[in-house]
A and B are shown apart, each in its own frame.
Chain A
Amino acid sequence: MLENLKRILVIVGHYGSGKTNLSVNLALHMKSMGKPVVLVDLDIVNPYFRSADFAGLMQQHGIELVSPTYARTNLDIPALTGRLDAEIETDKTLIIDVGGDDAGAAALGRYSAAIRDAGGCDMLYVVNGYRYLTRTAEDAAEILGEIQRVSRLSVTGVVNNSNLSNATTPQDIAATDRFAQETAKTYGVPMLFTAVDERIAAETGVLLENGTVFPVRIFVKKPWEE
């Protein structure tokens, strides 16, 4: 399911839909397929819980990390780095973790022309049916439209990342299957896969109409979680 995607993979979605955890997993997956991978933290909105938190893990796996100049410092300045322009022109696989909603996607708009010149991208719209403001396909599609408008790029697929954090059951995920499909249908794009905590991936897979499951490891954790 991931073999046919373009080398530039842009991850967008509503605040808290789980873009960062998915991006980290995608980066590790692409790397395991033997590709040179760059994980790009393009979040200019979120102060904590971001891809730049995983610098050590990325380094350990030989994955390059590009993040805003002052990410994870005490300086609240959302300055983007020039390095992304250079990486877009290479032939490496780029996983671009974009900030939430249209506010976060605004930073992506600045790179839209360069991305198009480099052969375009696959832009994955991550949905979580348990987020308060995107519980219906209509609401999720509205945010998708806003993200497309400001990013000046088009979503090419939907990823269902519905979860209730540690309390998620396979049934919880299965209950969002139709919602994710409907969100995808509204914009005429395919529903690519369902990202599921690897510990419940097999049980969840058999419950889904759209059976493609991408098992993910939970990297984004709270300080009291092991």
Chain B
Amino acid sequence: MASNQKVLMKGNEALAEAAIQAGCHHFFGYPITPQTEVAAYMSKRMPKIGGTYLQAESEVAAINMVLGAASAGVRAMTSSSSPGISLKSEGISYIAGSDLPCLIINVQRGGPGLGGIQPSQSDYWQATRAPGHGDLHILVFAPSTIQEMVDMVFDAFENADRYRMPAMILADGMLGQMMEPVVFPEKKVVTFDKESWATNGHKNQRPHNIVNSLYLQATELERKVKERFERYEVIKAKEARAEEYLVDDAELVVVAYGATSRIARSAINSARAKGVKVGLIRPQTLWPYPSAVIAKAAQTAKAFLTVEMSMGQMVDDVRLAVNGKAPVSFFGHTGGVIPTPAEVLSEIEKLTGGDR
């Protein structure tokens, strides 16, 4: 009936359905606004496909169930919003320290503390700098449309398996709650051989595998961490992604991710209509960060503007990538207040002298 199999989905539902289609049959979660529909959707669909949906007694329990399921070699995931992700951070560190793949979804809301329930991007630092204690990184994907949320769920599971590490989809309440048409890709799910490490029963046929993050010998722990950081270097070289929009001749480059990038794009279109040379770099991965794309733009652009739903977090990474070649300004709102295209346009005009 539907043309091109196009369907209308809420971001949260699309994340859940995409995960199922990407071969994730084990979901462990705990409800929190504005991501509850992920869990609600899973609770309806998982029993119908013979999968596991479990509402844990807490976020801490849910992430540790993910650790257990991932140890057995299955695609496992959990989902939450900002305060819940803080609770999961210990488990995320253990999963990273055990070299296990999994998917964690953060549909960000305003913080700190219990904060609010409106959209936010104030967990950028948490996701890219300290998703848990210790020397570690996780893969961080930043979708800006519902279609991209679907596509990135597939990519996140695949790269989590490939590099044996946790992946996070860093969304926000707006993306989670809004609706857009999507098409589920017919791409084949890429699977990985996990027999060399998965603790799924050796049946006396092979030596037993051990999943562990405890190394009491300092030198052994250092070796493990260094090994992991060598892998991180490969990922930084191969997996950073960004979309460029009207950057080639841009004098001002706006850098924004997620829902905010769509507000920025709308403002950029209005500015271009007035003859202002402005473009957009939209990071699609936040770790690894697409620093090279920004550094390249810094060779020609006269200035940069970062727009975020926070007090300014990603702007640090933009400044590191620009490396002093041009001034980097920040505009944003926090606490659940969404910047408007008109506000961003006025900021663009201020920086390009359009209001003279």
Measured CB to CB, the residues of A under 8 A from B are 15-16, 46-49, 74, 76, 103, 128-133, 135, 163-165, 167, 169, 171-172, 175-176, 179, 222-225
Q: Tally chain B residues at the interface, Cβ within 8 Å.
A: 37
| CB contacts between A and B, total, < 8 Å | 88
Cβ distance A48 to chain B, nearest Cβ, rounded Å: 5
Which of B116, B178, B263 is packed against the most chain A CB atoms within 10 Å?
Answer: B178
- B329 contacts the other chain (Cβ, under 8 Å)? no
Cβ distance A226 to chain B, nearest Cβ, rounded Å: 8
Contacting pair B181 A130 (CB below 8 A): yes
Given contacts A133-B44, A223-B340, contact A175 B117 (CB under 8 A): no
Contacting pair A131 B266 (CB below 8 A): no
Main secondary structure of the interface of B (DSSP, over half): mixed
Contacting pair A132 B263 (CB below 8 A): no
Q: Which residue of B lies closest to A222 (CB)?
A: B178
Given contacts A47-B117, A165-B180, contact A131 B7 (CB under 8 A): yes
Complex contacts, B40 vs chain A, CB 8 Å: 103
Cβ distance B22 to chain A, nearest Cβ, rounded Å: 15
Contacting pair A175 B3 (CB below 8 A): yes
Cβ distance A72 to chain B, nearest Cβ, rounded Å: 9
Complex contacts, A163 vs chain B, CB 8 Å: 8
Distance in angstroms between the alpha carbons of A175 and B4 in the assembled complex: 12
Contacting pair B179 A165 (CB below 8 A): yes
Complex contacts, A224 vs chain B, CB 8 Å: 262-263, 265-266, 341
Contacting pair A48 B118 (CB below 8 A): yes
| Beta-carbon contacts under 8 Å, B88-134 to A | 110, 115-118
Measured CB to CB, the residues of B under 8 A from A are 1-3, 6-10, 13, 17, 33-34, 37, 40, 44, 110, 115-118, 173-174, 177-181, 259, 262-263, 265-266, 336, 338-341
Cβ distance B81 to chain A, nearest Cβ, rounded Å: 10
Cβ distance A133 to chain B, nearest Cβ, rounded Å: 7
Contacting pair B178 A131 (CB below 8 A): no
Contacting pair A48 B34 (CB below 8 A): yes
Contacting pair A76 B177 (CB below 8 A): no
Contacting pair B7 A135 (CB below 8 A): yes
Distance in angstroms between the alpha carbons of A3 and B117 in the assembled complex: 40
Q: Which residue of A lies closest to B338 (CB)?
A: A223
Say which residue of B10, B116, B340 sits within 8 Å of A16 (CB atoms): B10
